[in-house]
Amino acid sequence: MMDDENIITQLSIFVNNEPGRLASVAGVLKDCNINIKGFNLAESTEFGILRAIVDDPDKAFEKIKSKGVIVKKTDMIGIAVEDSPGSLFGAADVLGKAGINIDYGYAYSGKDFESLFVRVDDPEKAVKTLRESGIRLIKRSEI
């Protein structure tokens, strides 16, 4: 992972697709005192993936892993968006024109800002391109 304040670590936590499993994983997060700032739950037939932006992801990763839960780290970018029509278009258009693919994303609304967390195929290029276009990025320290 590049050492850039605009690259945010997401945790991907694997959850079996059966009753009570999400509660079990949420219990691990609670027991480990991990605060989720934004998340997305995606599913398939056999398992789900809880993608989460958390405070102190490195510490959270180790705690979750030590409980026997399958977890991995992924680089994400937080893009500041406004609560208005067209806000998503601006960032998506800049990335698309630069040839950067958005794999997936999810929104976050906090006390001080709204953002879109996105997984892209080239995080470093995405950060550079968005900065040059004047689009505000969310820093790790803001989460």
CATH topology of domain 8-73: VC0802-like (3.30.2130)
What are the beta bridge partners of residue 8? Answer: 76
Q: What integer is the mean pLDDT of 73-100?
A: 92
Residue 2 pLDDT more than 70?
Answer: no
Q: What integer is the mean pLDDT of 110-131?
A: 89
> What is residue 19's predicted lDDT score, i.e. its pLDDT?
85
Which one is predicted more confidently, 1 or 139? Answer: 139
Closest among 25, 11, 4 to 117, alpha carbons compared: 11
DSSP 70: -
> What is residue 3's predicted lDDT score, i.e. its pLDDT?
61
Q: What integer is the mean pLDDT of 71-75?
A: 95
Residue 46 is encoded by which pair of tokens?
A: 């056999």
* Alpha-carbon span 26 to 32, nearest angstrom: 10
pTM of the model: 0.84
> Which residue, chain included where needed, has tokens 């809880």?
50
pLDDT-derived band at 98, boundaries 50, 70, 90: very high
Closest among 135, 85, 142 to 108, alpha carbons compared: 142
- 47-58 pLDDT, tens digit per residue, is 889 999 998 899
What is the SS3 assignment for 113-137? CEEEEEEECCHHHHHHHHHHCCCCE
The distance in angstroms from the start CA to the end CA of the chain is 18
Backbone angles phi, psi at 45, to 5 degrees: -65, -40
Homologous superfamily in CATH for domain 75-142: VC0802-like (3.30.2130.10)
Which sign, positive or negative, has the C-alpha torsion 109, 104, 26, 21?
positive
* Alpha-carbon span 60 to 18, nearest angstrom: 24
Q: Which residue ranges does the chain devote to CATH 3.30.2130.10? A: 8-73, 75-142
